Structure 1
Amino acid sequence: MSMRILGAPRQYIQGPGALAQLPGLVEEFGRAPFVVADPVALEREGSPLAEAPVARFAGEITLAEIDRLAGLAREAGAGLVVAMGGGKAIDAGKGVARALGRPIVVVPTVASNDAPTSRLIVVYDEDHRIREVLMLPHNPDVVLVDTAIIARAPRRLLAAGIGDALSKTFEARACAAAGGRNFFGGTTPLAALALADACYATIRRDGEAALACTERGAPDAALEAVVEAAVLLSGLGFESGGLSLAHSLTRGLTAHPRLAGALHGELVAYGTLVQIAHEGSDTASAAEIAAFCRACGLPVRLADLGLPEPTPADIAAITGPTLAAPHMRHLARPATPESLAAAIRTVETGL
């Protein structure tokens, strides 16, 4: 019998004004910090550390971009990496920390996905298609989430975080039922299933109210709950719980040139509906989840992602890379090109 393994960041800190703790945290490490930041985050919030050198993330996380940033960090004598911005900028910072063997502090400025807590680094090619997944030796040392900053970010980004979080209970349970492995090579522990379930319950209860906070630009209890769900519970739920069809479908969706520009969480929300259809869940529950997606502004059709009236060739272009994804093994009913295409058609015709 294989081991049950749960992984997590060494420290997770969340709340309005949390960024003020960053200088003290850096002092605890006693190392020269180097900041990798998204240019939009820098323009909106400024550098999180006034005296530290800053490298601007170029926008797509490729192997070449990681090498470029790592070279700048070496030149600066970096002893600690601070990654600031959205998911791709954070993964770029993780790539630098991995290349240099340095600790990392993650400062998300949006809650659009669960990259901040994960040790995974999703690498794309120049055409914005997923190329490979690298890994840090362990989860980030510190994740520092300032919800006053998150509340000022665009509504669409928080909605994407809700979309990314939506899948985790379905994927973790599918992985466990299929006897799959999580991202630590172990079987799914009960704690991961509980975290994934809590993530789903939280976003369903507070998701719409949290999105309203972005209109006011100030956090409240609903936003705090949803940010914790989208960043912490979702991250632990997928990494220790395992993934399945919903995330596998992002491989196929990003491979289609008409869909590569959508946000990760938007793709996962659509993928969740396809996984539910493939699993044959009851129609009423599936329709309820689709209605929740609509209320949050998340896609429920390929047309919402930029592909109206998909042809059989379009669907084939999506199913091919999806079926090649390793997480597709985590299904009670194995997927075939025909069964996956049928699930997509079910979603397209309406849940």
Structure 2
Amino acid sequence: MKKIIFSPSTYIQGRQEIKNLEKYVKQLGKNSAYIVIDEFIYNNYKDQIINSFIENNTKYNLAIFNGECCIEEIEKHRQNLQDYNIIIGIGGGKALDFAKAISYYEDYPVIIVPTVASTDAPCSRLSAIYTQKGEFLQYITLKNSPDIVLVDVDIIMKAPVRFLIAGIGDAISTYYETNACYKSNSKTITGGNVTKHILMLSKLCRDIILQDGYNAILSLKDGIYSQALDDVIEANIYLSGVGFENGGLSVAHALHNGLTILKDSYKSLHGEKVAFATIVQLILEGRPLDEIKELILFYKKIGLPTNLEELGINNISDEEIRKVAKVSCDLKYTIRNHFLTITEEDIFLAIKSLNKLIF
């Protein structure tokens, strides 16, 4: 049995860390940075980002990300890299994947600066590539994990609270999917098996969220920093990121992929769909009703969806649910990693039963 763990070389989380960006470039032995940045972050944080570069006479270039992580855009930016020796990605998921993809093709080190805590993607060594129209094309498996993941808590706090809640929905699946992969002895994205260390890390991720998630959301709504908020940001980005990549994905993310065939599902964020799908996974596993109830009541308290209607999927027919179940069971997705053999009918019945649960 082979066990492999992927993780960023360095993870840094703190307040106003964006001001130290140039220092971290120098720590990696580089002296000129090509910075890919979301337009919103450019408009609001440009001065904080470039001041340290200007003060230390370090060469930099700010390139605004156009919104799509596609091959054509990657190639365009690669033509501008001759005078730079490190890539920095600042923004949401696609901007970060874009920076990681450029670093992959150019074999450059990369610093990742997430500006929302809505997914666990910043720490991963994957980039999702789309067409120019925004249709998913492929995943690129990078040669290495990011050299540095830099999380500025103050920037995260400026994002809408819905993003933090969606991040909680994505992160809470980590333990349940890792547990399923551990029981089935499945291979993870790393090519190895789940370690006990990762199983415990993913459990810690869930425990932090259940304990501090509500208080973290209250803090964010009030614009007040708190230890609970800091811990939940760490859980959403780092614990879940390292957890999913080394622990594996299972039913929750397979069902998420199935739900994306419904146009109404576009109203919901990735983590919101994963949150719903996690409860379905618990039902499929026959977990105690008290455990399922605990999760549903937590969702209701913080604003995560507990049924299809709350996902924005209304008046869905049984035929449509069966189509979702069929796509979810496609073995190219992660349903294969579960320790149970789960059929389309199993998923159909679990979704139907969840929609009838009332607590």
* Counterpart AA for 1:335: I
What is the CA distance between 1:245 and its match in structure 2? 0.6
Task: State the partner residue of 1:16.
Answer: 15
What CA deviation, in whole Å up to 9, does each residue of 1:149-173 have, x standing for no partner?
Answer: 1112110010011111010110000
**Where do residues 1-351 of structure 1 align in structure 2 (5 Å cutoff)?**
2-28=1-27, 29-46=29-46, 48-49=49-50, 52-61=60-69, 65-77=70-82, 78-124=84-130, 130-324=136-330, 325-350=332-357
Secondary structure, in 3 states, of the residue corresponding to 1:286?
helix
Question: Does the Cα contact within 8 Å between 2:170 and 2:275 map onto a contact in 1?
Answer: yes
Secondary structure, in 3 states, of the residue corresponding to 2:140?
strand
What is the CA distance between 1:279 and its match in structure 2? 1.0
Aligned counterparts of 1:142 and 1:276: Cα–Cα separation in 2: 35
What is the CA distance between 1:103 and its match in structure 2? 0.9
Unpaired runs of at least 5, structure 2: 52-58
What is the CA distance between 1:23 and its match in structure 2? 0.6
Question: Does the Cα contact within 8 Å between 2:190 and 2:246 map onto a contact in 1?
Answer: yes
What is the CA distance between 1:347 and its match in structure 2? 1.7
Secondary structure, in 3 states, of the residue corresponding to 1:307?
coil
Structure 1 residues 304, 124: closer, same or farther in 2, change over 3 A? farther
What is the CA distance between 1:222 and its match in structure 2? 0.5
* Counterpart AA for 1:6: I
Question: Does the Cα contact within 8 Å between 1:129 and 1:251 map onto a contact in 2?
Answer: no
What CA deviation, in whole Å up to 9, does each residue of 1:160-187 have, x standing for no partner?
Answer: 1111101011000001111101111101
What is the CA distance between 1:91 and its match in structure 2? 1.3
CA-based RMSD of the aligned residues comes to 1.8
What is the CA distance between 1:280 and its match in structure 2? 1.3
Question: Does the Cα contact within 8 Å between 1:162 and 1:203 map onto a contact in 2?
Answer: yes
Question: Does the Cα contact within 8 Å between 1:159 and 1:211 map onto a contact in 2?
Answer: yes
Structure 1 residues 123, 296: closer, same or farther in 2, change over 3 A? farther
What CA deviation, in whole Å up to 9, does each residue of 1:102-146 have, x standing for no partner?
Answer: 111001111111111111223345675644322111110000001
Question: Does the Cα contact within 8 Å between 1:153 and 1:214 map onto a contact in 2?
Answer: no
Question: Does the Cα contact within 8 Å between 2:187 and 2:248 map onto a contact in 1?
Answer: yes
Question: Does the Cα contact within 8 Å between 1:152 and 1:218 map onto a contact in 2?
Answer: no
* Counterpart AA for 2:65: F
Question: Does the Cα contact within 8 Å between 2:322 and 2:345 map onto a contact in 1?
Answer: no
Aligned counterparts of 2:100 and 2:137: Cα–Cα separation in 1: 16
What is the CA distance between 1:296 and its match in structure 2? 1.5
Question: Comparing 272-281 with 248-257, which one deviates more in the overlay?
Answer: 248-257
Secondary structure, in 3 states, of the residue corresponding to 1:33?
strand
Which structure has the larger Rg over C-alpha atoms? Answer: 2
Structure 1 residues 193, 132: closer, same or farther in 2, change over 3 A? same
Aligned counterparts of 1:255 and 1:120: Cα–Cα separation in 2: 23
* Counterpart AA for 2:123: T
Aligned counterparts of 1:209 and 1:70: Cα–Cα separation in 2: 44
Task: State the partner residue of 2:54.
Answer: none
Structure 1 residues 218, 19: closer, same or farther in 2, change over 3 A? farther
* Counterpart AA for 1:27: K
Alignment TM-score, normalising by the size of structure 1: 0.93
Aligned counterparts of 2:346 and 2:132: Cα–Cα separation in 1: 31
Question: Does the Cα contact within 8 Å between 1:118 and 1:236 map onto a contact in 2?
Answer: yes
Identity %: 33
